[in-house]
Amino acid sequence: MRPPLKPQRVRDPVHNLIEFGTDLLEETMWRVIQTPPFQRLRRVRQLGFSELVYPGATHTRFAHSIGVFHTARRLMRIIERHIGDNRLQFQEAQARTALAAALVHDVGHGMFSHAFEEIGKALDLKMAHHEAVSDLLIRDSEIAEVLRVYGSGFADDVADVIKRGRPGNLYDAVVSSQFDADRLDYMRRDRLMSGVQNSGIDFEWLVANLEIGRVGAGVDETAVGEIDTFILGRKAHHAAETYVTALFQLYPTVYLHKTTRGAEKLFSAVMLRLVPLARDGDAARTGLADNHPLVRFAREPDDIARATALDDTVFWGALPMLAEAPDAGIALAAARLRERRLLKCVDVRARLGASLAGDRPADPAGWAALRRRVERLVIRVEQRLKEWNEANAGPFPRILVDKTARDPYKRFQDSKGPLNQIHIRGDGDRIHDMADHSAVVAALEPFHVFRAYIAGDDAGAREAVEKIMADEIDKAGKDDAEA
Amino acid sequence: MPKPDYQKAAEIVRDAGGRIVGRTRLQKVAYLLELAGFGEGFAFEYRHYGPYSENLTEAIVGADAFGLITEEERRTDWGGWYSTFDATPDAGRPEAGPRARFAAAAAAIDAVELELAATAAYLRAVEGCDDPWAETARRKPEKVGGGRLERAREAYRQLLALETARPLPPIA
C-alpha cells in the first residue's frame, strides 16, 4: 500500500494557488503528474516557436495541463450544483473520469506540438499525431499504472473521453465544449505569457454565469436527440462576445503570427529532409549520430518510445550538429533557426485582396463575390508557386508557402452543433446560438493565411513571387472585364 | 496539368446526383469513394465526426469560388446548421458509371448512419480494428441508439454489393 501524500501546492501565473488535496482523486492526479510521460511536458512549450516573437511565451504544456485540471475542478462544481439543485444523483465515476481526462489531455504532444503534427501528416508518421500518442500513454504507461487505483478499466475510460472528443455525458463538457477547461486555460495563459494586451476574457464573470442547459444535437440535417452541456446565463452576453472575439484576436497576434509561422516553416524544412535521410540509411548526412533521438525516431516512427524521446530541448540541442550537416538544406535551415535569421514574409493573401478590393462592398452578395475572387486568385497563385519551386530547386524549397484558416466561431468542418456553438439563455428562458444573439459574433469571419517565405538574399525567388502575383491579378482583371 | 482539388471536390457532388446535403455527408461520401478505389487522393484522418479530410474542406471552398458548385447554409430543426452543395453545369457532365452509382448510393444514406458506416470502415481499414462496429458504438454512444447502428451496417452492406474499383473492407 502506498503511503498517503501530504497536500500539495503549486504556484501558477494564471491561477495563483493550485492545491492538490489528500482525497484519492487529487492524490492520484498528483501521482500522475510525477510520472515520466507527464514530466516530459515540462520540455514541450505550449506555443512552440512563439518565444521567437514574444520572449515571455516560454510556458509549457506541463503548466497548462495543471491549469486545465484546476479549471476543470471549478467547472465540475457547476455541474455538481446543477445536479444537486435538480435532486439528481451526482455520478462520481463519470466526474472523476472527466477530471482525469482534463489533466492528461495533452500528454501526447510532440516537440513544437502542431508544427510536428504537420510533419507527421506530410510523411505519414503515426506517432507524430498527439491523439495517437496520448491514447497509448493513457492506456499503457506509467500513467495507466497510477490510474489503476480506480480499477483496471479506468485508464481506458479516461482515454475514451479524450478520443471521443465530444461529450458522451454532461460531465464530459468540462473537456469537450465551447467552455471546456482546455480553452479556458490556454486563452488566458497564452495571453498572459506572450504579453499581448488584447484578447482578454472576463473569466470570473463567464464562470459565474455558466449554467447547464439542454440543447439539440445532430449530424447535418438529422437530429440525434438532446444533450446537457454548458450554456451562459443572460447576464453574460458581453462576456460571451469578448470570449469569442478574444480568440479572433489571438489567431493573428499569437497563434498564426507571421514570424512564428516562418520559424515553423524552417523547422519543417529541417525535418522534411532529416526524416527521409535517416530512414533511408543516410543519417550521416543529417549531421546527427546514429543513436540521436531524432534519427531513431525517423527509423522507427511507429515506436511510441521513439516518439516520446523527442521534445523541444532535443531539437534545440541538435541544432549545432544539424547546422553542420553535410546536407545543405538541413544545415542552412538549422543555422537560420539557431541564429534567428528567419525568412522574409510576403503576405500574399493580403496583397491579392488589396488588389481587388476598394471599399468593402456593403451588400452581403457583393462581399461574397469579392471573397470568391480572392479565393480564385489564391488558388491560382498557389499552383504557380508550386510549379516555380519544382522548376527552381534550392537547398530547401526557395518559396515556403503557409496556407491555413482558423475560424473563431463558425467552424467550417463537418456539422455545426453543441461542440462548436455557444448557447446563451435569452428572454423567456429560450436558449439561443450566440451568433443569433450578437451582431459582433455573427459578423466574425475566418482568419485566412496565405503567405510566402523567402530568404532575404534570394532576389530571384522574391521576383518570382511578385511576378506571379502581378500576372494573376492582371489575368483576373481581364477575366472580370470580359465577364 | 493535374486536375485541381477544387475540380475533384466538385465532381464528387456532381457524380453523387448533383447534390450533397451536409458537410458530414460530403466528407463521408468522399471517404467511401477513396476506400472503394474511386477517389482521387484526398487524405483522411480521424476526427470527432469520423474520417475527415481538411484538403476536401479547402477544395469545396475552391469549387464554390470557381462556380463549380453552390453552397447554401440552412438551419436545422435541432438548432444547428447544415450546408447543401449543388453542382453547376461548369462542374462538367456527370459520370454514368460505377463511381457515380456508388457516390449516389452513399449520398442517399441518412447522415448519421453514413457517419457510423464510414467510421466503422475507417476503423477497419486504417486502425485494423477487429470489431469496428463495436468500436464505433463505443466512440459514438449518443448516435448508435434507436437501431441506427444496425441500419448503418445494412446501408454499408448495400454499398458492398455495388461494383467498386477496389473491394471495400468486408465488415458487413
Neighbours of A141 (CB within 10 A): 21
d(CA B142, CA A227): 9
Q: Which residues of A touch B112 (CB under 8 A)?
A: 218-219, 222, 224
Chain A residue numbers touching B77 (CB-CB < 8 A): 216, 221, 223
Average pLDDT over residues A89-95: 94
Amino acid identity of A118? E
pLDDT band at A408; cut points 50, 70, 90: confident
Residues of B in contact with A159 (CB under 8 A): none
pLDDT band for A411, please (50, 70, 90 cuts).
very low
> pTM surpassing 0.80?
yes
Chain A's closest residue to B64, CA to CA, is A372
Question: What is the C-alpha separation between B27 and A219, in angstroms, rounded?
Answer: 12
B64 neighbourhood in chain A, CB within 8 Å: 372, 375
Identity of the residue in B22, B64, B110 whose CB atom sits nearest the CB atom of A372? B64
Among A129, A164, A219, whose Cβ lies nearest the Cβ of B111? Answer: A219
DSSP-assigned letters across all residues of chain B: -PPPHHHHHHHHHHHTTSEEE-HHHHHHHHHHHHHTT-------EEETTEEE-HHHHHHHHHHHHTTSEEEEEEE-TTS-EEEEEEE-GGG-PPP-SHHHHHHHHHHTS-HHHHHHHHHHHHHHHTT--SSHHHHHHHH-TTTSTTTHHHHHHHHHHHHHTS--SSPPP---
**Distance between start and end Cα atoms, chain A:** 80
pLDDT band per the 50, 70, 90 thresholds, residue A365: confident
Is the Cβ pair B115, A383 closer than 8 Å? no
State pLDDT tens for residues A130-169. 999 999 999 999 999 999 999 999 999 999 999 877 777 8
Quick check: A412 pLDDT over 50? no
Rounded to whole angstroms, how far apart are CA atoms B63 and B87? 9
- Predicted confidence band of residue A466 (pLDDT cuts 50, 70, 90): very high
Q: Assign A418 a pLDDT band (cuts: 50, 70, 90).
A: low
At what angle are helices A312-322 and A328-339 packed, to 10 degrees?
A: 120
Asked if the model's pLDDT at residue A280 lies above 80, the reply is: yes
* pLDDT in the model for residue A204: 97
pLDDT interval class at B1 (50, 70, 90): confident
- Percentage, residues of chain B above pLDDT 90: 85
SS3 label, residue A362? coil
CB atoms within 10 A of CB A210: 22
Please say whether the beta carbons of A143 and A155 come within 8 A.
yes
> What was the ipTM of the complex prediction?
0.91
**Residues linked to residue A14 through DSSP beta bridges, in sequence order:** none
Q: Are strands A447-454 and A344-347 parallel, antiparallel or unpaired?
A: antiparallel
- CA angle A113/A119/A123 to nearest 5° reads 145
The answer to whether the Cα torsion of B144, B145, B150, B152 is positive or negative is negative
Predicted confidence (pLDDT) per residue in A234-272, tens digit: 999 999 999 999 999 999 999 999 999 999 999 999 999
Say whether residue B90 is in contact with chain A using an 8 A CB cutoff. Answer: no
pLDDT score at A413: 41
Using the predicted structure, report yes or no on whether residue A180 has a pLDDT greater than 80. Answer: yes
Per-residue burial over A312-349, b = 16 or more CB atoms within 10 Å of its CB, e = otherwise = beebeebbebbbebebebbbbbbbbbeeeebbebbebb
Q: What is the pLDDT of residue A359?
A: 65
**DSSP code of residue A45:** B
Cβ atoms of A443 and A250 within 8 Å: the answer is no
Identify which of B111, B141, B142 has the shortest CB distance to residue A222: B111
How many residues are recorded in chain A?
483
For residues A30-51, b (16+ Cβ closer than 10 Å) or e, as one string? bbbbebebbebbebbbbbbbbb
List chain A residues with CB under 8 Å of B138.
160
* Mean pLDDT over the full length of chain B: 95
Which of A4-13, A265-274, B45-54 ranks highest by mean pLDDT? Answer: A265-274
Q: Once rounded to an integer, what is the mean pLDDT over residues A48-55?
A: 98
Q: Residue A453: name the closest of A346, A317, A306 by CA.
A: A346
Mean pLDDT in chain A?
Answer: 93
One-letter amino acid at A364 equals P
Cross-strand partners of A17: A11
Interface test with B, best of A133, A161, A219 (most B CBs within 10 A): A219
Compare CB distances from A163 to B23, B139, B142 and report the shortest one's residue: B139
- Least CB–CB distance from A165: residue in B48, B62, B66: B48
The conformational region for residue A170 under phi > 0 = left, psi -120 to 50 = alpha, else beta, is alpha
- pLDDT at site A249: 95
Pick from A153-167, A235-249, A310-324, B37-51 the range whose average pLDDT is largest: A310-324
Note the pLDDT tens digit of each residue in A191-211. 999 999 999 999 999 999 999
Of A149, A166, A247, the residue nearest A201 (C-alpha): A247
Cβ of B62 within 8 Å of Cβ of A379? The answer is yes
What's the pLDDT at A367? 86
Work out the average pLDDT over A275-284. Answer: 96
Nearest CA in chain A to B28: A414
Position A43 scores a pLDDT of 98
Angle between helices B148-160 and B98-107 (to 10 degrees): 170
CB pairs under 8 A between A and B: 115
Quote the CA–CA distance of A301 and A125 in Å, as a whole number: 6
Cell of A36: 515520466
